[in-house]
Chain A
Amino acid sequence: MAKTKKEASMKRNRIIDTIWSNGLLIILALVWIIPIVWVILASFSTQTEFMTDSVFPKEYTIDNYVRLFTETDYPIWIGNTALIAVTNTVLTTLFTVLTAYALSRFRFKMRKLFMNITLILGMFPGFMSMVAVYFIFNMMGLIDSIWGLLVYYVAGAGLGFFVCKGYFDTIPKDIDEAIHMDGAPHIVAFIRVYLPLIMPIIIYTALLAFMAPWADYILAGILLSDTNRTVAVGLYEWMDEYHINSYFTLFAAGSTLVAIPITALYISLQRFFVEGISAGAVKG
């Protein structure tokens, strides 16, 4: 009798647990999903004002998307950003991995110095030097050119090697010796042996390099002119107090279009991303 009572109470506890856990998770999921659903639906709204009398639009149209490509500079922005992002992915990943490889696998005189300087540079607020960067780009004639922006991103590639180097460090040293026995030069070892081994971190680095131009507001805002923008700068302006009321649905459409491919990319590469952030977090 006592036993069944205890079982019953355990079962009841279990049911309560199931209900509140699932309930809480569903509420949380709603908190995360509603804003996203809202902006996607708003991008199909017939009402072009930000101020509406209902949360979700009542009638739907694809007009906003048509306007986005016919009446605004959005195609230029997205073309610019995509071009920078793809090129940046290739070059930044290459240089980051090369730097990490050199610092992890070679022992040379200036190595510690180089790493310490990098560390100190990372502690300065990033755009403290923007005025000077602007001036140097002006000197080089790279103002208002997306190539200038790209040069700046790629130039910083060598400074972001820490996570990648940490990953290299975990690869046993025996591999080096085995390669040397074969008499293969280091570059061959790098390409044939190391690159496949560090594939997860390469994908992680590439993903971050691809994302950076989409999120960069500061430098893109300073270097590019009004007609030759990137997505982040352009969409930001549509959301300021002067533009928001007439541009909001366009903003919603533009954001949705940008977000879909990037989100898909993220979700498909989620595994590598987790591996990368875990490696970075645990190794400090």
Chain B
Amino acid sequence: MVQRISREEVAHVARLAQLALSEDELDAFTSQLAAVLDHAADLEALNVDDVEPSTHPFPLKNVLRIDDPGEVFAIEEVIEVAPEVEEGQFRVPRILGES
């Protein structure tokens, strides 16, 4: 049987998710993900074209906040436990490529 997800596809989603996988992990994850997708195959037989998708379980709308400044936030508590900080900014190594 053809697997529902290929090794290459798993490698691709790992890259998208910024995860590095060893060759062995790649094999293991491929068969595990394929098993889950196999189980989800029961959905394929369902015709739900005329059913609206639900993104929320409870139908709320227009939840808005008044444009008022809140209390000043204690940024020091974040800076204190941040991985690397310089002059109040978060420091990162070289960035390649641009958004």
Answer yes or no: are A and B bound together in one complex: no
